[in-house]
Amino acid sequence: MNQGIKKCFKLAIPLVFWLGVWQLAAWAVGQPLLLPGPLAVGGRLLALAGTADFWLSMGATLWRVFLGLFWGAVLGGALAFLTHFFPWADAVASPAIRVVRATPVVSFILLVYLWIPRTAIPWVIAGLMVLPVVWGALSTGLRSLDGKLLELGRAYRFSRWKQLRLIYLPALRPHLSAGLLTAFGLAWKSGVAAEVLCPPDRAIGSRIQQAKLGLETADLFAWTLTIVALSLLLERILRRGLERGNRT
């Protein structure tokens, strides 16, 4: 059996098994309102995918998640350098970042709901979840940098920019990749959760909220499946991109 067929079986067998379990459970419950079967959900998913709103909602959610990932990563990275090199910055910022990391996302969502426009809440929340993860990963990386290479940079009269470009950034790349992968998952989940609790006009979270209010359980399942599929797909793309970057 060739590798391609083996790979298909490896993917298809668990998928068929769990779809079967789901269908059996749906028959056992016997109430589509509580647990619709996979065929009903698949039908709804296909119907939703035929509407412009489905794709626009997906695009809007993606935009917010990536905006959150971007600002959280940039600020988290900058803070990691700041707290590593300046003890006063470490004393001031590190406890605050740890508090952000320990605070439940729901508390943040409900708090920022009072302070900022509803459309901005998902990307602000996603960024807040990303920031401590990237900060933590880069802080660990900075602490583990090879002191001998840093001494080389100083002894060979490299400018600060050159030290950053030739020594710091390449050495930190594996830490940043690991941090970004974890952060992406968090940004995705927290961003959608924020959309559900504070629904903007167009978003996957808003559609989930509508489906819940309208007791459209099949739609709820269809949107959830969309989120899971998108998350897996984007994580795979991100992982491949980061791995390629680490190799070069």
Residues that bind another protein (CB under 8 A): 148-149, 151-152, 155-158, 162, 166-167, 170
Q: How far is the CB of 84 from another protein (least distance, A)?
A: 20
CB within 8 A of 139, min separation 6: which ones?
Answer: 80, 83, 84
Q: How far is the CB of 246 from another protein (least distance, A)?
A: 9
Alpha helix stretches (DSSP H) within 86-168 = 87-102, 105-115, 121-143, 147-155, 160-163
- Of 42 and 153, the one with the shorter C-beta distance to another protein is 153
Q: How far is the CB of 149 from another protein (least distance, A)?
A: 6
Q: Which amino acid is at 11?
A: L
Cβ 123 vs Cβ 109: under 8 Å: no
Q: How far is the CB of 210 from another protein (least distance, A)?
A: 50
Q: Name the residue among 198, 200, 185 with its Cα closest to residue 233.
A: 185
- Of 28 and 155, the one with the shorter C-beta distance to another protein is 155
Q: How far is the CB of 73 from another protein (least distance, A)?
A: 21
- Of 120 and 171, the one with the shorter C-beta distance to another protein is 171
Cβ 90 vs Cβ 142: under 8 Å: no
The whole-angstrom separation of Cα 204 and Cα 207 is: 5
Looking from the CA of 189 toward its CB, the CA atoms found within 13 Å total 12
- Of 160 and 213, the one with the shorter C-beta distance to another protein is 160
- Of 110 and 166, the one with the shorter C-beta distance to another protein is 166
- Of 120 and 149, the one with the shorter C-beta distance to another protein is 149
- Of 166 and 181, the one with the shorter C-beta distance to another protein is 166
Q: How far is the CB of 148 from another protein (least distance, A)?
A: 6
The whole-angstrom separation of Cα 99 and Cα 89 is: 16
The whole-angstrom separation of Cα 18 and Cα 16 is: 6
Length of the chain: 248
Q: How far is the CB of 94 from another protein (least distance, A)?
A: 29
CB within 8 A of 53, min separation 6: which ones?
Answer: 202, 207
CB within 8 A of 83, min separation 6: which ones?
Answer: 89, 90, 93, 94, 97, 135, 139
